[in-house]
Amino acid sequence: MNFQLSEDHLAIQQAAREFAEQEIAPSAVERDKTGDFPEEIIQKLGELGFLGMMTPPEWGGAGLDCVSYVLAMEEIAKVDASVAVVMSVNNSLVCWVIETYGTDEQKERFLRPLATGQKIGAYCLSEPGVGSDATQQATTGTLQPDGSYLINGAKNWITNGTRSFHYIVFAQTDPSKGHKGITCFILDQDMPGFEVGHKEDKLGIRSSDTCALGFTDVRVTPDRIIGAPGQGFKIAMETLNGGRIGIASQALGIASGAFEKAVKYTFERRAFGKPINQLQAIQFKLADMQLKIETARMLCLRAARVKDSGQNYIKEAAMAKLYASTIAMEVASQAIQVHGGYGYVREYLVERALRDAKITEIYEGTSEIQHIVIARQLLKEYAVG
């Protein structure tokens, strides 16, 4: 597999890096403290095409490949994982759903404003009592005589929750069919009966927006069904496969950002009469960190290449997400260790990397779920072989 980046890929990577350093970095520390949502930054991201990167130009997107998305996500997450997750959700979990399963009318109505950044979206699958087992949707959609549905229930841990306008919502519309009775809807925040909960006070990715949602007799017309009734679980699982590439790239960015700060610090800090990068113990740490980051990067790019080729990328996405999230925690921890006591305080930034990294092992499917996904896929491959 060729991992050589094209001139276009390098240009996109450079553009994302410059935007991150110039537009995101100046406010990242303060927003981590206050939890303020990066509204102006997200608006600028949309104007530059980063919120609809893989959406075709005919629907307002940039029409780029998944490799470009991985490169941009890493650069944004290096500087601020909170901004990166807003970008990831809008691209991978919202735009992709409508582009892949929506009608032309739905694409014009919903996808275009999302891809251009005029609006941002949220993906609503998790529920208060339902985590990894998404087959058990308690949120219901009850069919009415006029063909509309009444949505009742609650969703939890919704990224972009208070700031979104369009929401991809999964609800059980035919309990007799189990997970094959789940339907995908698109709701708007201004619908009667739609309630937005308080913003969660989180360990990391603090300036991203996470909240619970409540639905009380929210009336949804049939033209807001994405795909077909009962197709919701299939849509949800396919969406998460692509979303895992985004989160893997976010984890990669967190790790590479922490690593770069650690390397820079080793030139500045002296011990025993010389820079600490002359100490073998520090050199070994840097070597291990670099090895893990490069391996994660190859897994992310491989998953993106397979997705771009139109092949089944379920296993590749899960492997990238599992490994990248694991090493993000390890690299961030070692970056703190390299900094010593200074790494434990906000001023030196690496402590934020550790706090941000933890969520990448949880959302878009926990690390435990990724093991299951990988095992199932490889067993299928061996059974066929």
18 is catalytic: no
Q: Among 99, 127, 361, 364, which one carries the catalytic annotation?
A: 364
Neighbours of 310 (CB within 10 A): 7
Residues with a catalytic annotation lie at 364
